[in-house]
Structure 1
Amino acid sequence: MRRKYPNLCKPIKIGNVVFRNRMFSAPMGGTDITADCTIGRASTAFYELRAKGGAGAVTVSECMVHPETDGSHAFHLDLHTPGSLASFTYTADAIRRHGAIASVELSHSGQYAGTYLTDKDKKRGLAQWGPSAGVRPDGLEVKELTEEIIADIVAAYGNCAALAKRAGFELIMVHGGHGWLINQFLSPYFNRRTDQYGGSLENRVRFAREVLDSVRKAVGPGFPIEFRMSGSELFEGGYDLAEGVEIARLLESRIDLLHISAGTYQRGFSTTHPSMFVPHGCNVYLAAEIKKHVSVPVATLGGLNDPAMMEEIIASGKADVVEMARALLADPELPRKIMSNRDEDIVKCLRCFTCMAERAVTSTRRCAVNPLIGRELDGTEIVPAARPCKVMVAGGGPGGLKAAITAARRGHKVILCEKTGELGGILKGEQAIPFKYEMYQLGVTLGKLAADAGVEVRLNTAVTKEYAEKENVDALIVAIGSEPLVPPIPGLQAENVIIVNDYYLKKDMVGDRVVVLGGGQAGCEAAIHLAREGKEVHLVEMRAELAPDANIRHRPILLGEIDKLKIHVHTGCKATRVTREGIFCAAANGDERFVAGATVICALGQQARRKEAEELVDCAPYVAQIGDCVRASTITTAIYQGYHAALDI
């Protein structure tokens, strides 16, 4: 067969191991790390899902090599903890039996020990060790590693590598980036030593060399070693790309694959994990430059999810391998779909950070667009129904579409009714905001998958009690969503007011000076978009803070964009009336304030369509209400509930 993306699909030999394609699953932390830091069964299933989906390699993250000086709650691999070696062995086997190469990332947090603890206060009781003594920005004292402890840590890398090989892993990734310990030694910002491990670049690289030599001795020749490094630390005081090139050249003789990431703990989360506010592939330039100066294969990553972009990266020689993490949560079958020329079926990552926020808050995983993530043991196969039914889904938003697809794949006859002329529900409104366009695309993709599954779609069809009873269905899934909250504020119905959901229909009506009424996540994102278009934007919020509904990973980035764009923020201001010239507000102290703007974007939130939903509760033997019609929530909730409602038929 002729492959649409031949370079992505081409096998690659690294060391003595052949990888089936150039699409690797980048390190992602497990979900059920036991109290003894072994790999739980759910994590094994979590990694296996990406192997099933066709990735060339799947990397387990992170195995902390020296718990004595690194208190992070992550995986440990040793012989004295019952179940430790076995858990790694079962995981390697689960990955390898699907044709992917099992890889494990060996790490040490250094002075950022405790980062992965859910209870952040506990890290204050940990010993923080780094290349140099000092005090962290959060006030924690950092102790300088002695040469004796350094030697012990170096040996620990080798010991873990040997055990990983024994467990069946065929690739070792050494984590030397993102502000972790090896990066701390490489960095002139962190490393202020005056002995053989500090000062010159040659000395700062010494620890990394010793670690790689220790790993090589443990695994032997031909066994592939991947070294992960930040191409540049991207902050003042850290090393830049030119020095990143030199670090790569000094280390390449000891490795088989050079994995180029970006940024450090100091620089911030959003550099290493590019957000929706920056272009896909924004960090690829680092790998492309370093590849010019080394002879080993180079891997790149950073918000990649588009097959055409990834194909161009390989074809043009910017990198030899592309690695994805979030994209393979959203759609674990992305590599298999590319290999079989089904790229139009890929469900793309939204870069919403639901996955990483959930891990930080609850120590679990969840994905906004994939209900399987973190729940793989519940079953990843859609089992055909013993008795096919006639199923109606009311509402063509993300939840309704997911329910319809799932029910159809189970063998049911499915009718999906959407009262408007287009599928996608609330996602339709995102098509006019470039950094949220993939949310709109999600609706389009789900619509295609529904049609491919045999769902009968009836547009411009509202489901009433009479309509549902006339169809005489066995099951009805109510997914009619929410509607904009428009309180009775005088003037809010005027022509110069645009409901944020309708912005995509009326964007040409927006003037140069805009007031966004409502500082929740939707309002903040609309304000950012309008400011990027060069408009003067005022953001009015009655609460004391912006975007409390945004998750803990997305929110700081969102607020950073608002600050960077110099959007005028008015918190503690409750709108009292709207005019053609702007909004009058009551401030927290009772004073009246006028915020000028010829166009007003109303983003005061959503409310569930409860009345319409309740009218349908007796229309079939099985009725399920899902998503926003129950309570205005998120894409995550709608898709998860839609999927399981269909499984319950």
Structure 2
Amino acid sequence: MRRKYPNLCKPITLGRTTFRNRMFSAPMGGTDITNDGCIGPKSTAFYELRAKGVAGAVTVSECMVHPQTDGSHAYHLDESILNSLACATYTADAIRRHGAIPSLELSHSGMFAGTYMTDKSRQHGLNQWGPSDAVRADGVAVRALSQEQIADIVRAYGHVAGLAKRAGFEMLMIHGGHGWLINQFLSPLFNHRTDEYGGSLENRCRLAVEVVKSVREAVGPFFPIEFRMSGAEFCEGGYDLAEGVRIAQAIEPYVDLIHVSAGTYQKTFGITHPSMFEAHGRNVYLAAEIKRHVSKPVATIGGLNDPEQMEKIVASGQADVVYMARALLADPFLPRKVTEGRDDEIVRCLRCFTCMAERAATSTRRCTVNPLIGRESEGDEVVPVPESRRKRVLVAGGGPGGLYAAYTAARRGHDVLLCEKENELGGILKSERALPFKHEMYELTGTYERLARRAGVQIRLNCEVTPELVEAEGADALIVAVGSSPLVPPIPGLDGDNVVVVNDYYKNVDRVSDDVVVFGGGLAGCECAIHLGQEGKRVHLVEMRDELAPDANVRHRPLLLREVEKYVTVHTGYKGLRVTDEGVVCADASGAEHLVPGTTVICALGQRSRTDVVEALRDSAPFVRVIGDAARVSTITNAVYWGYHAALDI
């Protein structure tokens, strides 16, 4: 078979282990971590799914090697803990039995121990240890590790590495980046020691070299060891790429793969995990430069989800391996689709940070475009129903929830008709086509449509669902996914010719002048304002509340607000009174009136459910389920999740 992406699909041998392709699953933390640090069954299923999806390697993250100085609530591998070794063994086996190489990330949080605890008061109560005495930005004191403690940590890396090999892991990743302990020693930002572990680059690399040597002694000469590092830290006081090259050269003799990431803890979140405001592969140049100066294979990572781009990275010699994390949440079967030439079916990551925000909020996982994530143990295959139970299913609405519901119902063997009242699919996603940094969200419609049609869904456009249509089609089940409509309150002038509703901006781009007022500072308003500012327009943003974008998730919101600050003049605490040809007249908290200037006004005041349509359809079929914004104005995540389960419930 001739592969469409031959370089991505080509095996690679590290040590004496051969990996089936160059697409590796990056470290992602599990969710059901037991109180004593064992890998829970939900996490095992979480990692196994990426192995089923034909990733070359699947890395389990993170195993903390020295609980005496690192109280992080993460995995531990310790023979004194009941079931610790067994849980690790079951996880390695779950990965390996599907042909992927199981890898375990060995780590130490250093001065940021307990980062992923949802109860931050517990985190602040931990002893925090780092290379030097310090006080963290949040006021927590950090104590410098003694040389005796350092030696014990080095021994612990080797000991845990030996246990990991015994459990069946066939590669180990040493985490030396992102502001964790080894990176703290590498970085002049954190390391102010005056002994042999501080000062010169050689001294700052000493801990990393000692750790890798300890691991090598434990696992033997031919066992693959990978070192994950930040190619540059991108912050004042941190090291740059030139020093990153020298760090890689110092580590190179002792490892089989150099994994080049970027950034440091808290300061560079949107670079380490490139946001939608960054270019895909924005960190690849770091790996490419390091590869020029080392002889060992190099891996790259950072917002990669396009097979064509990844193929070019490998083919051009910028890197030997490409890692993906969020892309394999959105579509765990991305590598399989690449190898089978089905890349047009890949569900692309939106870089919306729902996955990370959910983990921070509830210690679980969700993905906007993949309802199975975090719930993999419930089964990752849609089981067809017996022929005797197959139904005629009608889906009202062609937005993301309706499309995914139709796709799921068809995969189960039902006869599915999806009707959309407008002349194109997408629902509220249509409005994203005009925002370049959200193009993947708009393109999601095309992907879901392709999957639905190939599953057998019949799609009718310009067809509004009515009770009469439901009866005429003989529907046994009706999924109501009719979405929401823009909220346009009766404010004088808001119906004027100079006003464009944010949902319709994509149809009215040419009507928008160079001086714009975005009326409404929720997520949709902020993102539209950023885009207009990026285009060079003068943009004012009016919000009645005291804060912007409270509907944005906790990971996306800080990055969003940073972009707003770059491009937009913000007026919070302003209540819109009337719209004129010159802008929006607002009242401040004292009642004083102010004109916010702009010859075009974008109305972004929110959405309301189409309850009238829902009520008209509620009794139209034996089985009726209302999903997405039609049920409650919410998120694409909920629309897709509810649609998936509505189809499973038929």
TM bracket (short chain): over 0.9
User: What residue in structure 2 maps to residue 21 of structure 1?
Assistant: 21
Name the amino acid aligned to 1:371. Answer: P
Per-residue CA deviation, residues 69-127 of structure 1 (Å, 9 max, x unaligned), is: 01111000000111100010000000000000000000000001110111011122111
Contact 1:424–1:447 under 8 Å retained in 2: no
CA distance in 1, matches of 2:290, 2:97: 34
Contact 2:275–2:351 under 8 Å retained in 1: yes
User: What residue in structure 2 maps to residue 371 of structure 1?
Assistant: 371
CA distance in 1, matches of 2:265, 2:314: 28
Name the amino acid aligned to 1:492. Answer: L
User: What residue in structure 2 maps to residue 469 of structure 1?
Assistant: 471
Name the amino acid aligned to 2:514. Answer: D
Contact 1:25–1:56 under 8 Å retained in 2: yes
User: What residue in structure 2 maps to residue 115 of structure 1?
Assistant: 115
CA distance in 2, matches of 1:88, 1:614: 51
User: What residue in structure 2 maps to residue 66 of structure 1?
Assistant: 66
Per-residue CA deviation, residues 129-166 of structure 1 (Å, 9 max, x unaligned), is: 01111111111111010000000000000011100000
CA distance in 2, matches of 1:560, 1:119: 26
User: What residue in structure 2 maps to residue 228 of structure 1?
Assistant: 228
Structure 1 residue 495, shift from structure 2 partner: 1.1
1:327 aligns with 2:323: no
Per-residue CA deviation, residues 164-201 of structure 1 (Å, 9 max, x unaligned), is: 00000000000000000000000111111111111111
User: What residue in structure 1 maps to residue 534 of structure 2?
Assistant: 532
Name the amino acid aligned to 2:464. Answer: A
User: What residue in structure 1 maps to residue 457 of structure 2?
Assistant: 455
User: What residue in structure 2 maps to residue 580 of structure 1?
Assistant: 581
Structure 1 residue 470, shift from structure 2 partner: 1.6
Contact 1:608–1:629 under 8 Å retained in 2: yes
CA distance in 1, matches of 2:575, 2:37: 49
Contact 2:466–2:617 under 8 Å retained in 1: yes
The SS at the match of 1:508 is helix
Contact 1:231–1:286 under 8 Å retained in 2: yes
The SS at the match of 2:541 is strand
Name the amino acid aligned to 2:195. Answer: D
Q: How does 1:396-435 map to 2 (within 5 A)?
A: 396-435=398-437
User: What residue in structure 2 maps to residue 641 of structure 1?
Assistant: 642
Give the total of aligned pairs.
Answer: 648
The SS at the match of 2:508 is helix
Name the amino acid aligned to 2:145. Answer: L
Structure 1 residue 266, shift from structure 2 partner: 4.8
Contact 2:234–2:268 under 8 Å retained in 1: no
The SS at the match of 2:172 is strand
Per-residue CA deviation, residues 401-429 of structure 1 (Å, 9 max, x unaligned), is: 00000000011100000000111111111
User: What residue in structure 1 maps to residue 156 of structure 2?
Assistant: 156
Name the amino acid aligned to 1:539. Answer: L
User: What residue in structure 2 maps to residue 211 of structure 1?
Assistant: 211
Q: How does 1:585-624 map to 2 (within 5 A)?
A: 585-624=586-625
Pick from 514, 517, 520: which aligns with 1:518?
Answer: 520
CA distance in 2, matches of 1:125, 1:403: 46
Contact 2:132–2:191 under 8 Å retained in 1: yes
Name the amino acid aligned to 1:72. Answer: S
Name the amino acid aligned to 1:483. Answer: S
User: What residue in structure 1 maps to residue 261 of structure 2?
Assistant: 261
The SS at the match of 2:226 is strand
Contact 2:540–2:570 under 8 Å retained in 1: yes
Name the amino acid aligned to 1:424. Answer: G
User: What residue in structure 2 maps to residue 308 of structure 1?
Assistant: 308
Unaligned runs of 5+ in 1: none
Structure 1 residue 379, shift from structure 2 partner: 1.4
Structure 1 residue 259, shift from structure 2 partner: 0.2
Structure 1 residue 19, shift from structure 2 partner: 0.3
User: What residue in structure 1 maps to residue 147 of structure 2?
Assistant: 147
User: What residue in structure 2 maps to residue 508 of structure 1?
Assistant: 510
Name the amino acid aligned to 1:629. Answer: A
Per-residue CA deviation, residues 266-287 of structure 1 (Å, 9 max, x unaligned), is: 5221111000001100010100
CA distance in 1, matches of 2:79, 2:7: 41
1:244 aligns with 2:244: yes
CA distance in 2, matches of 1:575, 1:611: 28
CA distance in 2, matches of 1:448, 1:238: 46
CA distance in 2, matches of 1:596, 1:154: 62
Per-residue CA deviation, residues 195-244 of structure 1 (Å, 9 max, x unaligned), is: 11111111110000000000000000110000000000111111110000
- Structure 1 runs of 4+ aligned residues shifted over 3 Å read none
User: What residue in structure 1 maps to residue 176 of structure 2?
Assistant: 176
The SS at the match of 1:54 is coil
The SS at the match of 1:561 is helix
The SS at the match of 1:647 is helix
Per-residue CA deviation, residues 338-363 of structure 1 (Å, 9 max, x unaligned), is: 00010000000000000000000000
CA distance in 2, matches of 1:602, 1:10: 51
CA distance in 2, matches of 1:28, 1:449: 27
CA distance in 2, matches of 1:602, 1:214: 61
User: What residue in structure 2 maps to residue 167 of structure 1?
Assistant: 167
CA distance in 2, matches of 1:474, 1:250: 67
CA distance in 1, matches of 2:473, 2:267: 58
CA distance in 2, matches of 1:236, 1:35: 37
Structure 1 residue 564, shift from structure 2 partner: 2.2
Name the amino acid aligned to 1:607. Answer: R
CA distance in 1, matches of 2:271, 2:382: 37
Structure 1 residue 378, shift from structure 2 partner: 1.3
Contact 2:261–2:272 under 8 Å retained in 1: yes
1:568 aligns with 2:569: yes
1:276 aligns with 2:276: yes
Name the amino acid aligned to 2:441. Answer: M
Contact 2:540–2:569 under 8 Å retained in 1: yes
Unaligned runs of 5+ in 2: none
The SS at the match of 1:569 is strand
The SS at the match of 1:600 is strand
CA distance in 2, matches of 1:266, 1:427: 31
Name the amino acid aligned to 1:589. Answer: S
CA distance in 2, matches of 1:276, 1:559: 13
The SS at the match of 1:423 is coil
The SS at the match of 1:615 is helix
* Structure 1 vs Structure 2 CA RMSD: 0.6
CA distance in 2, matches of 1:124, 1:247: 32
Name the amino acid aligned to 1:224. Answer: P
Name the amino acid aligned to 2:127. Answer: A
Contact 1:393–1:476 under 8 Å retained in 2: yes
The SS at the match of 1:175 is strand
CA distance in 2, matches of 1:509, 1:93: 59
Name the stretch that deviates more: 258-267 or 219-228: 258-267
Among all aligned residue pairs of Structure 1 and Structure 2, give the percentage whose two residues are the same amino acid. Answer: 70
Contact 1:262–1:283 under 8 Å retained in 2: yes
Name the amino acid aligned to 1:509. Answer: R
Name the amino acid aligned to 1:378. Answer: E
Pick from 442, 454, 457: which aligns with 1:440?
Answer: 442
Name the amino acid aligned to 2:176. Answer: G
Per-residue CA deviation, residues 382-416 of structure 1 (Å, 9 max, x unaligned), is: 01112111110000000000000000001110000
CA distance in 2, matches of 1:124, 1:21: 42
CA distance in 2, matches of 1:411, 1:126: 53
CA distance in 1, matches of 2:566, 2:300: 28
Contact 2:502–2:604 under 8 Å retained in 1: yes
CA distance in 2, matches of 1:477, 1:47: 32
Q: How does 1:489-508 map to 2 (within 5 A)?
A: 489-508=491-510
CA distance in 1, matches of 2:336, 2:378: 22
